[in-house]
Amino acid sequence: MPVAAIDIGTNSTNLLVVDDDGTTLHRVVGVTRLGAGVDGERRLASDAIARTNDKLTEYAATIARVREQRSTSVPLRISASSACRDAANRDEFFDLVERTIGVRPELISGHDEARLAYLGATKNLSTDHMGHVVIDIGGGSTEFAYGDTELRSTHSLDVGAVRLTERHLRHDPPRPEELLNAIGDVQDLFDDLVRETPNLSGARQLIGVAGTIVTAAAVEIGLREFDHSRIHGFRFPRAAVEDVFRTLATETLDDRKHNPGLPPERADVIVGGLCVLVGLMRRWDADEIVVSAHNIMDGICAELLRESAR
């Protein structure tokens, strides 16, 4: 019996459908920008809700086709994260989603988000048993999951690609002081986190998941079309991360859209996401970050498959 997961994030709304052996049947990424303006207004905008609901209508049709082809039910879980955590009108949005797709979203905490991202990211990836951290840079928040031989702790910071863009990056291209302020925002919050959890900064391996890191890796490789086999497990040197950051941060939005590997719909917030990545790698003094093409949806599907096997 196939299972499905939908992740409703601040920047994108994504679908994963896997077969009962874990084989991917459908993986779809849709940039819907549900969290546009939420950092300041604390509400989901009506146009953002409409964009997201339109994408969910498409996903409902995809899941229905799988159900018909297999003549079986397709268990579905929908997660909603940072933007919905911050929005006062999230229940109205959840009501609409439930009417559209028949399943009510689960509002997950930053810790649950980190745990599920860890479960998905480490699938088919070699991890350092002396200490590794999975970093999930989203649109509104960034999650950390620390592990060695198993998951040990989870953490969440309210910095992400959309949130930093709206707070700091107001010019095209961003001014140097705007970039410094955005990076400083990330580093200050991370310093506070390390004071509470000292072992986090001692992790020997960093693993990056989700839109910012996958997109940056695709730009570095020069991928014109997404290729899972070239992204998953890619060792992304810090010097190359800095090069991608400098290139994209100094280009206008119109020029930035022409970089191979960068979807045009991500071009306006990718620099904000890279401020998170660069700030963290500088504070960690990390030589590289390993890219995982698996994410929170893989974690959710793994849990659904375990539940269906009982």
Range with top average pLDDT, 122-126, 172-176, 194-198, 203-207: 172-176
On the question of pLDDT at 54 being above 90, the answer is: yes
For residue 106, pLDDT over 90 is answered with yes
DSSP label at residue 116:
H
Question: Are 2 and 72 in contact, with CB atoms under 8 Å apart?
Answer: yes
* Distance separating alpha carbons of residues 137 and 20, to the nearest angstrom: 29
Determine the Cα–Cα distance for residues 194 and 6; give it in Å rounded to an integer: 32
- pLDDT of 197 above 90: no
pLDDT level of residue 245 (50, 70, 90 thresholds)? very high
- Comparing CA positions, the residue from 70, 82, 75, 119 lying closest to residue 7 is 82
Q: Is residue 211 pLDDT above 90, yes or no?
A: no
In this structure, which amino acid lies at residue 70?
R
Share of the chain above pLDDT 90, in %: 85
pLDDT of the residue at 226: 83
Domain ranges of the chain: 3-110, 125-293
Q: How far apart are CA 16 and CA 5, in angstroms?
A: 5
CATH class of residue range 3-110: alpha beta
Amino acid at 265: E
Reported CATH class of domain 125-293: alpha beta
Same fold: 3-110 with 125-293:
yes
Render the burial of 258-272: b for 16+ CB within 10 Å, e for the rest: ebebbeeebbbbbbb
pTM: 0.93
- Is the confidence at residue 310, as pLDDT, over 80? no
